[in-house]
Structure 1
């Protein structure tokens, strides 16, 4: 039996509690610690920093006077409330029971993290100012839940950027480490993000905090999608029947969120991709959706997450049925239509339609066979339009494309990715610019289009040149901030280090 537990702080990760317990007890062996707390003799101890398991065994091992329950641990000291907040009750309970009794495998798979494009951070994160205040007031610090949320960039209390600690959370073999001077420091990160990014992110974190602090009522996915359709209908982005205007939705979403901010939030919307995540997101399917993207979408709609959970009914898509009740006798309508035909000899059906507006529509819909029998067809050969000189147009469009690329490359500030959409936007044309007969233009755009990797390298070089011109010291960390990349991405840091070697 465990004789004591350290005081548990608000929003403290369960991992942090165990880490402090280990330090207080002076236990050097992780294996002995796991056996002491969880009575586990196989190598099945802490499978995850975010989703601990075998909590029923842990609680049963507490002193009889302890009031700490499994429900309190899971709801107040793990990431369970965030990652299951958009699950049904049934699936939420499955994850809860897996943490309670032990699943034997990674619970990240159950909550959809393993296959998601939105990844958790690789390191435990913290606010350097919270760390400083903890050390001054408490004499110790602890790992909080909020900084570990994907997309959490700023501390809501101090409005400064979160930092990566030295504690890796993606390796279950790691030991239990405290938030102390060995893993954290008080140095602030240099914030080069626009103020808009901070405001957007702090609003995002308000909704995240609500999910952590409230035991929200779960809604199944169909209800949530119907809720989104209802709100989009109110904004004119869906029809009365609930059909979504996808192009209008994408345009509005990208007008609300800057593309660089979406990159930080691991949610870039590639408008050239036939099925980007935003198109799939609003479809009623069983695809996994990250809670981060649910919150992004609610924020775009201007809705607090609380409103979703307090809504009791939705409409979603619906079939509109129009019951037509004729005001006039059918014979009377037929007589009027025959009069129009007689008074306008030689008129074709389109012309008769314009002359008999309303009457034509009713007869065409409700008396179609009679209409086809009595209404003449006047065949007129349309004059053939002048054919387009595609070769000439291709040369003109090629010149426009090259000019647009030049403007994009010469533009001041952070580089803009060379893509068909940004090239078209610079020229001021629509998708007709992708016509198959514009062969040279299409070939040039395909050759000039940047991959995400090449674009990142160009942004990194831009950041380095800017820092050199301003006399700043070049480090991987500072270049990463200048280029606008979020923390926790090992691949980007390696790319920056590789590019920096070219400047030495």
Structure 2
């Protein structure tokens, strides 16, 4: 049975379309969920699952696929703007075929400094225009973006309704027309210049819902963000980002009350830094939240460009080296090439120690050439390691470490890969590159059952050497495994076989079972 879903308005949420469907048909939320998704899936505000099933149940007057619904009626394009392409593809497939339970975590939304809105928001001017032009209003996607507090169409702040943006299963669906048509709006507490700057942030975030983000030239690209900060003079003596100065500019540009309204921390640290500003310029995080990038880019665009941009980003201490004179950069390159040629192996490390001043100059003013030259030298020099001999040497060390590990001195230890490698003082990545060493570790690594059998065998040997016959209780005490472990299903049969040994069998002799004497009549 096809469902005749209302035609979505521009920038409308799928949740709002479902609300209008319920208003027109009078269906209960449960019936609506069964008719749309086939299994009772509830339509959340920002992300929704089983979109392929929803697209297959739509009538012919609204030909939409699961990808169309995902990109046109949800907040997925905005959330996925700063995620890796592989993550975007995985989450898109999850929302089309599965549920939305883990979508926010996979996209990095839950790890961001800006929480999602807890209640649905609206623009009073957009609502009045909708009621006059359409006779109804609806919930817009651009009004529910985390961190965006102004309308993208009008220079006006968003108002908050009493409709919760979460827990749809408990609260059901509430149409925007019935909720907002009689609401009286309060005056905005922000200054006109703050409203204009919040409106500028909203204008730059709204296109993310309709078109892919160009990462090559955007604030989401780490290199582009650093270049923008450099052009505006937000760098320190060594070319690094001056986080305290940038944080002070952001607070002065927006005002601390507007920054807090965006759900961004507005209280600097004792060093004068804002955590979310500093985190945007580090390269260890995988996801970039679009609002943070847009807020920083909008504040930086208001500053004039420096007449002479500072030198590239470098690391180091002390005073920065002077700028090169005309033609001096080529002389530095030739000098570094001669230093590398004359240095003893390892050439790069030796040359760095011999020409530290030259290294600082090249890293400050010609960093790209310096790194590329060193990388090319490392690639051309080849490898001088005899891995066959190294493999045999590592295997000998592993055998010695394994014998010391299982020796019965302070009690047997479990032979685990990490313990053997650490005792061998060999990095794990080197051991993984040696086939004989890997095979040795695979043979001698013990699981729980093998470890317990070895401890029981050693305990039985000690009991037999002292002239005592093994019993389950004595084995549990001597091996320190405990009676419950010895009586467990994995070890009880092996323990019983050890209990049939006699003291005259010796501690290391073969397992000889006690033959029962035939019963005499």
Structure 1 length as normaliser, TM-score?
A: 0.56
| Structure of greater relative contact order (alpha carbons < 8 Å, 6+ residues apart) | 1
Matched, 1:286 2:285: yes
Contact 2:150 2:195 in 1 (8 A): yes
Aligned-residue offset at 1:203: 0.5
Q: Report the equivalent of 2:118.
A: 122
What residue in structure 2 maps to residue 230 of structure 1? 227
In structure 1, the residue matched to 2:243 is 246
Other-structure match for 2:66: 70
Residues 1:102 and 1:326: Cα distance change in structure 2 (over 3 Å)? closer
Partner SS for 1:147: coil
| CA separation of 1:326 and 1:298: change in aligned 2, threshold 3 A | closer
The root-mean-square deviation of aligned C-alpha atoms, in Å, is 3.4
Tell me the distance in 2 between the aligned counterparts of 1:27 and 1:207.
38
Structure 1 Cα separation of the partners of residues 356 and 61 of structure 2:
82
CA contact (8 A) 2:73 2:141 kept: yes
Q: Over alpha carbons, which structure has the higher Rg?
A: 2
Contact preservation (8 Å) 1:161, 1:189: no
In the alignment, which residue of structure 2 is the partner of 1:4? 4
Please state whether the residue corresponding to 2:82 is helix, strand or coil.
coil
Inter-partner Cα distance in structure 2 for 1:120 and 1:325? 52
**Measured at CA, do residues 214 and 221 of structure 1 come closer, stay the same or move farther in structure 2, by a change above 3 Å?**
closer
Q: Would the aligned equivalents of 2:124 and 2:159 in 1 still touch at CA under 8 Å?
A: yes
Mapping 1:48-63, distance limit 5 Å: 48-63=44-59
What is the CA–CA distance in structure 2 between the aligned matches of 1:64 and 1:105, rounded to whole Å?
Answer: 30
Contact 1:269 1:278 in 2 (8 A): no
Using a 3 Å threshold, how does the CA distance of structure 1 residues 285 and 100 change in structure 2: closer, same or farther?
A: same
State yes or no: 1:271 paired with 2:268.
yes
Q: Is the Cα contact below 8 Å between 1:86 and 1:219 reproduced in 2?
A: no
What SS class does the counterpart of residue 105 from structure 2 fall into? Answer: helix
For 1:146 and 1:326, the matched residues in 2 are separated by 56
- The C-alpha deviation readout for 1:189-226, integer Å capped at 9, x for no partner, is 21231112101111001101221232334569997111
Gaps of 5+ in 2: 304-310, 316-320, 336-354, 359-521
Match of 1:205 among 202, 205, 213: 202
Aligned pairs, how many?
A: 317
Shift of residue 184, structure 1, vs aligned partner = 4.9
Contact persistence 1:132–1:186 (CA under 8 A): no
SS in 1 for 2:146: coil
Task: Classify 1:325/1:301 alpha carbon distance in 2 versus 1 (closer, same or farther; 3 Å).
Answer: closer
Asked if structure 1 preserves the Cα contact closer than 8 Å seen for 2:219 and 2:294, the reply is no
Say if 1:220 and 1:287 are closer, same or farther in 2 by CA, change over 3 A.
farther
Contact 2:16 2:175 in 1 (8 A): yes
Are 2:123 and 2:156, in contact at CA under 8 Å, matched by a contact in 1? Answer: yes
Q: Report matched runs for 1:104-503 at 5 Å.
A: 105-173=101-169, 174-182=171-179, 184-218=181-215, 224-238=221-235, 242-273=239-270, 276-286=275-285, 288-302=287-301, 317=313, 323-324=331-332
SS of the equivalent of 1:243 reads: coil
C-alpha contact (below 8 Å) 2:48/2:99 kept by paired residues: no
Following TM superposition, by how much is the alpha carbon of 1:241 offset from its aligned partner in structure 2, in angstroms? 7.4
Q: Which residue of 2 aligns with 1:97?
A: 93
Change (3 A) 1:106 1:184: farther
2:497 aligned residue? none
Q: TM-score normalized by structure 2? A: 0.55
> For residues 92 and 26 of structure 2, what CA distance do their matches in structure 1 show?
31
Identify unmatched segments of 5+ residues in structure 1. 305-314, 328-362, 367-504
Q: Give the whole-Å Cα distance in 2 for the aligned partners of 1:79 and 1:260.
A: 26
